Structure 1
Amino acid sequence: MSIRLRHLLYLSLGAAGAVVAVLWLGLIQISASSGHWGVTDWVLHSVMRQSVKFHAPAKEPPPLDDPALVRRGAGHYESGCAACHGSPARPRGAVVMQMTPHPPDLADRIDDWRPAELFWIVKHGVKFTGMPAWPTQARDDEVWAMVAFLQAMPEMNARDYRQLAFGPEEGEGDAADLSTSVRPAEADCIRCHGTDGLGEANGAFPRLDIQPEPVLYAALKAYADGHRASGIMQSAASGLVEADLRELAAFYTKVVPLAGASVAADTVDGDLLARGEAIATHGIPRRDVAACDGCHGAEAAARQPDFPRIAGQYPGYLRNQLALFADEEVERGGGRFKDLMTLSAHTLEPDEIEAVALWYASREPLGYRRGEEAGAVRPEE
């Protein structure tokens, strides 16, 4: 070995030893109050941006101007993101401004990213920043909802944001009156599902007024235990104790369910409705698809109180849930009957899902009178 080569080896070993010594002795400042060196900040942000560009999916996003997607994303943003990133209704707080790096004001940053890049950031999070991954990796539909909201947020004022994130504007109508007299967890339900459990007709949130208490409890329990995937609902339910779950399941039994389908049958193609009815009432025997009414019809409702009631439900919600059950790459999860749905739905084609969803949406809700029997009344219109 030449003298020059030997010197280079000694120099490299010495440098490595010095680095280990500095790290071992704790000389590197890791306090958030010290901030990053300029070069450190540049390297981390550059690497993050290039990594996101490289890993962002190439698939086509859904229509991101869909009001239902924007509304669904807004509710979760307020409860899960606004505390760090601020919102059009409130700025970032003093505490988060002491984080290193500072959580950015997203309204000023959204235009820097393509939709696919925003999708990747929301779904997977970012290391070394405190930005978490989406609570479940199995719900790309929810991640796209958040992307839809983020893209719409820069154009929102405080009033627009409050209407999306909190539902009916504060101080207006029965929603505000009731929300001031309920527990915080119930108020969270009201923000998305309304005071009467009607959700939203655009399909952002499902109707709960048509469900019996055992169905609502089973769903909340599955979310809280992590057995049903939803980044939105798992975040809402995971911190609740058993008594909270029971009280929330009973909350919407205090109002009388409204009659009426969510879709007028005469607005839907008759052949499509007929196809949906055939699948709902007879199934598809040659593909081992059972008749939906075997579990979701009136007779099943009378004998089994914890089968979900889907007549009168919004078609967008039904379509999405059937698609999740049919997707072999997604374990939809849920209550004790989830395997029956997975077995029945996994061979359904998209047009068959559409037909079944529209047929049930065009039906009158099953005639539960539980609210009247309890002496409850619907808030006055």
Structure 2
Amino acid sequence: MAASRTRLIVKTAVMTLLAAGGIAAAGGYTVYQAGWYDIGASTQHLQPVYSLLEQAMHNSVRHHAKSIVTPSLGDPAQLRRGAGLYREHCAQCHGGPATPPSAHGQSMQPVPGPLVDAAARWKPRELYWITRHGIKMSGMPAWELRLGEADTWALVAFLNRLPDLDAAAYRALAANEATPAPDGSQGGDPRRGKKIIAQYACQSCHTIPGVTGSEVDVGRPLDGLARRPVIAGRLAPTQDNLIAWIRNPQAIDPGAAMPAMGVTESDARDISAYLLSK
């Protein structure tokens, strides 16, 4: 009799949990389909949503960064380099001691927030991973293909030092100019080119095979470039021509709406290698 009662209790509990899960899933699907959740950046996330997303982000970073080996950090030249890079690439969204973020950084949701306490919340290898790969749906970009390995670790070294800097020390260190890192050309690597396309946000105007993005009709779709008789309306579909067009459209067509994105020679070569393979 006791065993039967126990089985009944367990069965009831399981059915109750399944029913509750089904109701929650149905409710979530209804909110999703109806569009009731406000995704506008002029309003904040509901606290439970924010907390859930933040914890998921922390768990993901820690999992993916656990195998990264941290090198020696903190020599003066590395700190100066990291400070210059921070001023150039990070302060606009995250600010610094006595230095507010720019208007667009203040208006983002979720708020990027200051990094003066980042070293207390993240291990160096985790800061490296975040800098390298970015965070989806947060505005935090991936710097993997724009900053070299040494520069990424220089930024991490600076973030470790940042909690110890007052306003004057921060301004003095961040005043160093961040000189460009070596170009590091890898040749026409289509796999790298696919990643770089996303870094330059090419998919914001073009539909590109293999690159995730919204359905857009701003620029022409970029499939089958190698099979077209001309590209950019006037050029033979060669890699050199495509590189020239990617790097400086107005030099080829002064009336072109496509902007010059500051694409490096090596990045343009890899992008063209990918596009001409599709």
Give the structure-2-normalised TM-score: 0.54
Q: 1:62 aligns with which of 61, 67, 71?
A: 71
Aligned position for 2:145: 136
Letter in 1 for 2:119: I
Aligned position for 2:159: 150
In the TM superposition, residue 139 of structure 1 has moved relative to its aligned partner by 3.0
Aligned position for 1:26: 35
CA distance in 2, matches of 1:42, 1:111: 19
CA distance in 1, matches of 2:189, 2:88: 19
Alpha-carbon spacing, 1:31–1:146, altered in 2? closer, same or farther (3 Å): same
Alpha-carbon spacing, 1:114–1:135, altered in 2? closer, same or farther (3 Å): closer
In the TM superposition, residue 226 of structure 1 has moved relative to its aligned partner by 11
CA RMSD of aligned residues (A): 4.3
CA distance in 2, matches of 1:138, 1:94: 25
Aligned position for 1:104: 113
Alpha-carbon spacing, 1:58–1:94, altered in 2? closer, same or farther (3 Å): same
1:113 matches 2:122: yes
Matched position secondary structure for 1:107: coil
CA distance in 2, matches of 1:80, 1:110: 18
CA distance in 2, matches of 1:8, 1:86: 46
Matches within 5 A, 1:1-381: 19-136=28-145, 139-167=148-176, 191-192=177-178
Letter in 1 for 2:129: W
In the TM superposition, residue 221 of structure 1 has moved relative to its aligned partner by 12
Alpha-carbon spacing, 1:240–1:45, altered in 2? closer, same or farther (3 Å): same
Matched position secondary structure for 2:159: helix
Matched position secondary structure for 2:37: coil
Alpha-carbon spacing, 1:105–1:35, altered in 2? closer, same or farther (3 Å): same
In 1, are the aligned partners of 2:79 and 2:158 still within 8 Å (CA)? yes
In the TM superposition, residue 137 of structure 1 has moved relative to its aligned partner by 7.8
Deviation by residue 1:54-85 (Cα, 9 ceiling, x = unmatched): 22143432221111211111111111110110
Alpha-carbon spacing, 1:57–1:68, altered in 2? closer, same or farther (3 Å): farther
Matched position secondary structure for 2:100: coil
CA distance in 2, matches of 1:6, 1:88: 55
Deviation by residue 1:333-368 (Cα, 9 ceiling, x = unmatched): 69x9xxxxxxxxxxxxxxxxxxxxxxxxxxxxxxxx
Deviation by residue 1:107-145 (Cα, 9 ceiling, x = unmatched): 133211111111111111112221111141883222111
CA distance in 2, matches of 1:138, 1:192: 11
Structure 1 alignment gaps of length 5 or more:
168-190, 194-204, 207-218, 244-332, 337-381
> Paired residues, what number?
191
Letter in 2 for 1:157: D
Letter in 1 for 2:113: P
Alpha-carbon spacing, 1:10–1:52, altered in 2? closer, same or farther (3 Å): closer
CA distance in 1, matches of 2:94, 2:43: 21
Matched position secondary structure for 1:101: coil
Deviation by residue 1:239-268 (Cα, 9 ceiling, x = unmatched): 99699xxxxxxxxxxxxxxxxxxxxxxxxx
In 2, are the aligned partners of 1:74 and 1:165 still within 8 Å (CA)? yes
Alpha-carbon spacing, 1:14–1:45, altered in 2? closer, same or farther (3 Å): closer
Aligned position for 1:358: none
Letter in 2 for 1:46: Q
Aligned position for 2:239: none
CA distance in 2, matches of 1:150, 1:137: 18
In 2, are the aligned partners of 1:166 and 1:192 still within 8 Å (CA)? no
Letter in 1 for 2:134: G
Matched-pair identity in %: 37
Deviation by residue 1:291-331 (Cα, 9 ceiling, x = unmatched): xxxxxxxxxxxxxxxxxxxxxxxxxxxxxxxxxxxxxxxxx
Which sits farther off after the overlay, 4-13 or 156-165? 4-13
Greater CA radius of gyration, 1 or 2? Answer: 1
Give the structure-1-normalised TM-score: 0.41
CA distance in 2, matches of 1:11, 1:40: 19
